[in-house]
Structure 1
Amino acid sequence: MNWGHKIIIVFVIFAAGILTLVTKSMRTRVDMVTPDYYGEELKYQQVIDGKENAGKLSAPVAVSQEDTAVLISVPVELRNKQITGKVTFYRPSDSGKDIFMPLQPDQSGRQLVSRQLFIRGQYKVKIAWTMNDQPYYQEQLVNIN
């Protein structure tokens, strides 16, 4: 085989490799943080204000694991107050496994979330609420075992 054939074989192998990479990259699923990412970005000032307000509380909202549930505990100054909000358990590896629920602590400031809703792994817990027309926002990483 002469050198001309060898060059053609190298180019064919190179082209096949590039086509394989393009095909694999086109089939890879890319999840954005939210479907309306750019619309959410415009509202980010509310998140900044919420973080600042949450930083002024006596303690952050605590998220911990118990045997059968994930416990969300609000600080003392939020107990028995009229708060409206939502809790998002964001799963970075698969947006289809995100969990959304309203923030509804009981009289003692606790809210239990069944561990059966979760799969093992890391979640970013995003808690957003309003009290007295003031926004509050907090994020925390939690590993579900």
Structure 2
Amino acid sequence: MKFNWGTGLVIGMCCFIGFIMFFVIKMSTDKKYEHDLVVEDYYGKELHFQQEIDAEKNLSLFSEEITGKKTTKGYELTFPKTRGAINGTVSLYRPSNKKLDFTIPLKLSEGKIVIPKEQLIDGRWDISVEMTYQGKEVLFKKSITY
């Protein structure tokens, strides 16, 4: 059998295809490389998107903006002084790992809430505060790097 450039080209192409197929199979079967959707119920969440937009517009009920800063105890969210009670939850979403996501109840102390440092790993976090104020749904979203 003669080994010419055509035979070498076919062997090279077969090796390249085998190399690509190896990585496709490895990435799709190995649990280490998870590739989930951003949220579990993506389409159901999309149906409620207009309600989120309306809730974000209700931030204008506050006289000032909600601010946040990094402190030695964790991440501190400061709410403006209000006449009524604010009830709700604070959800923290980690885009790189859904296992780190958590939700805490919104309990203000002197108009502030501190997200404990122990629960925040360095990196990007998306904070979502869903609350009820003056009988209306209010939504505050912010992306931070801790």
Is 1:77 aligned with 2:105?
A: no
- Cα distance in 2 for residues equivalent to 1:45 and 1:15: 46
Which blocks of at least 5 consecutive residues in structure 2 are unaligned? none
Q: Which runs of 4+ in 1 moved over 6 A?
A: none
Q: Which residue of structure 2 aligns with residue 127 of structure 1? A: 129
Would the aligned equivalents of 1:89 and 1:124 in 2 still touch at CA under 8 Å?
Answer: yes
- Higher RCO (C-alpha 8 Å, min separation 6): 1
**CA offset digits 1:44-67 (Å, max 9, x no partner):** 111101111113422222221111
Moved more, 86-95 or 7-16: 7-16
The offset of 1:24, in angstroms, is: 4.0
Over the residues paired in the alignment, what is the CA RMSD in angstroms? 1.8
- Cα distance in 1 for residues equivalent to 2:113 and 2:140: 16
Which blocks of at least 5 consecutive residues in structure 1 are unaligned? none
**CA offset digits 1:58-115 (Å, max 9, x no partner):** 222222111122212111126xx33221111111111111121111112x21112210
**Normalised by the size of structure 1, how large is the TM-score?**
0.86
Is 1:98 aligned with 2:101?
A: yes
Q: Which residue of structure 2 aligns with residue 140 of structure 1? A: 142
What is the SS of the residue equivalent to 2:113? Answer: strand
Q: Which residue of structure 2 aligns with residue 10 of structure 1? A: 12
Moved more, 111-120 or 15-24: 15-24
Paired residue type of 2:16 = F
- Cα distance in 1 for residues equivalent to 2:26 and 2:69: 39
Correspondent of 2:71 among 51, 66, 84? 66
Paired residue type of 2:12 = V
Q: Which residue of structure 1 aligns with residue 21 of structure 2? A: 19
Q: Once the two structures are aligned, what percentage of the paired residues are identical?
A: 26
Q: Which residue of structure 2 aligns with residue 112 of structure 1? A: 114
- Cα distance in 2 for residues equivalent to 1:4 and 1:113: 65
Tell me how many residue pairs correspond in the alignment. Answer: 141
Q: Which residue of structure 1 aligns with residue 49 of structure 2? A: 44
